Amino acid sequence: MKELPILSAMTSGLEEADALDPVVDRVYDITSAVPRGVREVLHGEPAGHTLHPAIILLPVGAWIGSAILDFVPGSKAASQVLVGAGVLTIAPAVVTGLADWSLLPERRQRRVGIVHAASNTVATTLYALSFVQRSRGKHGSGRLLGLAGLAVVGFSGYLGGHLAYRQGASVETEADTLVESTAAVLPS
């Protein structure tokens, strides 16, 4: 599948951005302190595939629903509930995402992943601020903050897709599984 040149330049630039390495190394040191078995469970080993893509549907779905309701008259309260639900359900997505990231073998994947995580942090902050503004009765600025958060979530989702589909992060094929299971039963 072809990628727009501007997007290709951006993702290639992130993959090669060694300026990100101090942050990548620091976060890697922190996540590596979590026992590998715990990271593997959070990664989705028992389920047979990563959990993060499914869990991220909770906050992102709530935020998309909120954006839709922001354009429906009389839906201010419902929209605010969805903004809050998204902020409250982000923690499992963060934990599973960090577990996935901590198991990435390539530095270029970790670089893209750290920008993906930072983008999600910005989006969550915008949504938290949106919730506060809505709570204060400032629904106009709350809506704008929510829409800005959704734009950042879209960008972050693009990077997550790049990690999975372009870089093959956390991708395991049936052939990989077959090789592993065959190696487990063959004598050394």
Distance CA 39, CA 111 (A): 19
What are the helix (H) ranges across the chain? 5-15, 21-32, 36-43, 52-55, 57-69, 76-88, 90-102, 107-135, 139-161, 174-185
* pLDDT tens profile 54-105: 999 999 999 999 999 999 999 999 999 999 999 999 999 999 999 999 999 9
Q: Domain-by-domain residue ranges, the chain?
A: 5-185
Percentage of the chain beyond pLDDT 70 is 91
pTM beyond 0.85:
yes
Give 50's DSSP letter: -
Give pLDDT tens digits for 121-143.
Answer: 999 999 999 999 999 999 999 99
Task: Reply yes or no on whether the pLDDT at 162 is more than 90.
Answer: yes
Q: What is the pLDDT of residue 178?
A: 46
